[in-house]
């Protein structure tokens, strides 16, 4: 395996965590949105990851690939707000099914994973530079 594969692997992890951070930000931005019907209510979205195994001469390396983003199938909250202009004929509005505490935990986890991948890149770069300096 090439020493440079480390950069590819860490880069794929950073890309995946970037998608995770973006979907979390979208979920948090829509956490308090309401709708007239249950079908129109915002539903939490989560990215789906897959290990990307790549066969190379002398071994295999793995990275991360984003398969897509899926919507939660949890039921949106039904709130009785007859004064709300979006209320249906019975006086109900439907709030998104985003769990703010869960999304904050996702954001912290994704951010730390991103930071860990940066540390892998920096450490690998430093080790390669030191190896080159050994020949001087």
Average pLDDT over every residue of 1-15: 84
Owning domain of residue 112: 9-33+42-73+96-134
pTM of the model as a whole? 0.84
> Is the separation of the CB atoms in 102 and 45 below 8 Å?
no
What does the block give as tokens for 103? 């999304």
Q: What is the count of structural domains for the chain?
A: 1
Identify the pLDDT of residue 134.
87
Is the per-residue pLDDT at 57 higher than 70? no
């Amino acid at each position: 395996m090439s020493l440079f594969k480390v950069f590819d692997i860490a880069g794929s992890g950073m890309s995946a965590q970037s998608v995770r951070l973006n979907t979390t930000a979208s979920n948090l931005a829509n956490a308090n949105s309401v709708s007239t019907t249950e079908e129109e209510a915002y539903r939490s979205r989560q990215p789906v990851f897959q290990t990307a195994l790549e066969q190379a001469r002398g071994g295999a390396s793995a990275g991360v690939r984003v398969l897509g983003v899926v919507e939660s199938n949890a039921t949106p909250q039904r709130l009785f707000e007859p004064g709300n202009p979006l209320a249906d004929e019975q006086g109900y509005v439907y709030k998104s099914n985003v769990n703010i505490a869960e999304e904050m935990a996702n954001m912290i986890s994704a951010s730390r994973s991103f930071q860990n991948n940066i540390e892998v890149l920096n450490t690998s770069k430093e080790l390669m530079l030191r190896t080159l300096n050994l020949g001087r």
